[in-house]
Amino acid sequence: MNKTFINLFWAPVFFLMSLTASLAQTAHNPIMYADVPDISIIRVGSTYYMSSTTMHMSPGVPIMKSKDLVNWKIVSYAYDMLDDTDDLNLNNGQNSYGRGSWASSLRYHKGAYYVSTFAGNTGKTYIYTTHNIEKGPWRAISFKPSLHDHSLFFDDDGKVYMIYGSGRIMLAQLKDDLSGINPDKKPQVLIENASLAAGPNLGLPAEGSQMFKIKGKYYLFNISWPRGGMRSVLIHRADHITGPYEGRLALQDKGVAQGGLINTPGGEWFAYLFRDFGSVGRVPYMIPVKWEDGWPLLGINHRAPDTVALPANKSLMPGIISSDEFNRRHGERDLPLVWQWNHNPVNQLWSVRQRKGYLRLTTGRLDTTLITARNTLTQRTFGPECSAITALDVSGLKDGDHAGLALLQQKLGWVGVKVENGNKFIVMVNAKGGSSTESASIPLFQNRVYLKAACDFKDRADKAYFYYSLDGCNWIAIGGVLQMAYTIPHFMGYRFGLFNYATKITGGYADFDYFRLADKIVTPH
């Protein structure tokens, strides 16, 4: 065969193969279209671990694992319960919406893993330690005061610090056992006004500290929000941890900010950051980094790119969110790690083993709204579209009980069943106006009902729809559209929630047969 013909034949083939390989190594931002804010990432060998903020959820401070910086799986939590207080327990009219544990710091030092966080509502700083980040156990210590948005930092000389604060960034040396601030070393001002690097129009002061030591230099990452501008990345650099520091504006695009640096085994550098993305929450971004004159240069032409040269994104299921049939074999966890409770649960009032193949939620006190009710079991919503369905057996409900499937945030919505004077009704509740309103009520004459909630996050539409079915096949829309909104009081993206609360008599129970997720909204028929 003619060599010229062979070359002409194979050239397009090799080009397509090269193009396919290139496309396979392209990830898109956000790397996870779900609420995973305030991320902190480390690499141990060829494995990455990441922690994130989940505030009032229990268990808290999820630990995620990845081999490629793009596709992650929850493998652990730093704690089952942050603290035993009325607000974290939803007791005596108190709550911790938007509070609880905030931005965490994840570190690896001499064979041990450390996760630190803080909580303004308890006034404490918390440090969790383990030698097995995936299986635990975690050792917990806490101390006062609460060090805001701190970065835990182990220096080469054996000293351990926390860098913290808002605007004025502080440096505190810890005791050798990490049980508190070293009483012989008074905290000192590290940077008097770190916000100046963003410009003169001060809005949100510099916070979200994350400290790194690279080739002998100290790099401090912060987020700031100039008035009239957008969230911005600030970087300060020094030759000594105590300074002096010089700072610069590192990235100001799309509001992508707050995070730090990570490198690959091959020597590539990235910045991990997050972006406010409407009612789905705050979503993580990976930004390429190059070095110039000892400074990390973030982005491409100073922009946060929509694509990045990393392996392609896979589904968030089942690593971050997952369907659940509630069937448990002997030795399995009662709840997969994708689940979190809204505030601390009452463990005696829920079970996945009392009735085989069902999640049972039993009431133990009286409440007036879903917001105040305990034992709401949640998972993240995700974009650009998602939906969840569940089958609910209401034969165990008592008069005044409300049970169903929710989209939880301050402006919540839910579809479910209420019992009123011995009669059952399918209802839809909509709180888009700030207070809960029953938008629809339909008599129910059977004990099994199917419920569905769907979210449209495309182009920040942030609309939610609710449906019910009597046979699991034919779905009927109920109530109005919920216009979702990300509110600061809750400070979290919308979550699917399974719930049951009593308004008249305790002891009623709701049995959920399954929870099934989809990454699209299917038109009912």
- Write down the pLDDT at residue 24: 54
For the segment 355-377, the average pLDDT, to the nearest whole number, is: 97
* Residue 375 scores a pLDDT above 70: yes
Q: Is the pLDDT of residue 1 over 80?
A: no
Between CA 126 and CA 149 the distance in angstroms is 12
Look-up of token digits 């769907």:
454
Considering only CA atoms, which of 102, 98, 107 is closest in space to residue 118?
102
Q: Is residue 166 part of a domain?
A: yes
Number of domains present in the structure of the chain: 2
Higher pLDDT, 464 or 204: 464
Across 114-121, average pLDDT: 97
Whether 413 has a pLDDT exceeding 90, the answer reads yes
Mean pLDDT of 439-444: 95
Mean pLDDT of all residues in the chain? Answer: 94
Q: Are 374 and 343 in contact (CB under 8 A)?
A: yes
Whether residue 21 is predicted with pLDDT greater than 60 in this model: the reply is: no
Same-domain pairing of 128 and 277: yes
Evaluate if residue 9 carries a pLDDT over 80.
no
189-197: average pLDDT: 95
Region 141-161 average pLDDT:
98
pLDDT at 15 exceeding the cut of 70: no
**Residue 64: pLDDT over 50:** yes
Q: Is residue 335 part of a domain?
A: no
- What residue type is assigned to position 426 of the chain? I
* Residues 359 and 244 reside in one and the same domain: no
- The predicted model gives 173-200 an average pLDDT of 95
Q: How far apart are CA 407 and CA 251, in angstroms?
A: 34
Which comes out higher in pLDDT, residue 17 or 67? 67
Taking residue 423's Cβ as centre, other Cβ atoms within 10 Å add up to 11
259: left (phi over 0), alpha (psi -120 to 50) or beta: left
Q: Would 371 be classed as within a structural domain?
A: yes
Domain that holds residue 274: 26-308
Q: Is residue 288 part of a domain?
A: yes
* 322 assigned to some structural domain: no
Which residues does 41 contact at the CB level (< 8 Å), separation at least 6? 48, 49, 50, 69, 106, 259, 260, 262, 272
Q: 494-509: per-residue pLDDT in tens?
A: 999 999 999 999 999 9
Q: What is the model's pTM? A: 0.93
Query: What pLDDT does residue 523 have?
Result: 61
Q: What is the CATH number of the domain that holds 364?
A: 2.60.120.200
Position 95 confidence tier, pLDDT thresholds 50, 70, 90: very high
Using CA atoms, how far residue 41 sits from 56, 104, 128, 271, in Å, is: 22, 10, 16, 10
Tell me the CATH number at 32: 2.115.10.20
Place of tokens 């929509």: 306
**Residues 271 and 385 both lie in one domain:** no
Cα separation of 110 and 320, whole Å? Answer: 29
State pLDDT tens for residues 224-274. 998 888 999 999 999 999 999 999 999 999 999 999 999 999 999 999 999
Separation CA 414–CA 428 (nearest Å)? 6
**Mean pLDDT, to the nearest integer, of 376-392?**
98
Q: Indicate the burial class of 85 (C-beta count within 10 angstroms; 0-12, 13-18, 19 or more).
A: middle
Name beta bridge partners: 96.
none
Question: Does 344 lie in the same domain as 302?
Answer: no
Tell whether 329 is covered by a domain: no
Q: State the sign of the Cα–Cα–Cα–Cα dihedral 329, 332, 336, 340.
A: positive
Residue 14 confidence class, pLDDT cut points 50, 70, 90 = very low
- Residue 273 and residue 229 share a domain: yes
In a domain, 461, yes or no: yes
- Cα 402 to Cα 369: distance, rounded to the nearest angstrom: 9
Residue 80 inside a domain? The answer is yes
Q: Looking at the structure, tell me whether residues 439 and 302 fall in a common domain.
A: no
Comparing 428 with 204, the larger pLDDT belongs to 428
User: What percentage of the chain has pLDDT greater than the value 70?
Assistant: 95
Whether residues 367 and 452 share a domain: the answer is yes
Examine the domain organization and report whether 344 and 304 are in the same domain.
no
Find the angle CA(172)-CA(174)-CA(178) to the nearest 5 degrees.
145
Q: Which of 308, 324, 354 is the last residue of a domain?
A: 308
Looking at the structure, do residues 279 and 418 belong to the same domain, yes or no? no
- Regarding whether 367 and 277 lie in a shared domain, the answer is no
Q: Where are the beta strands (DSSP E) in 239-344?
A: 246-251, 257-263, 269-276, 282-292, 295-298, 307-308, 340-342
**Structure-token pair, residue 485:** 């909104």
- What is the pLDDT, as a whole number, of residue 20? 44
Residue 200: pLDDT band with limits 50, 70, 90: confident
Within this chain, do residues 355 and 406 fall inside the same structural domain, yes or no? yes
One domain, residues 413 and 279: no
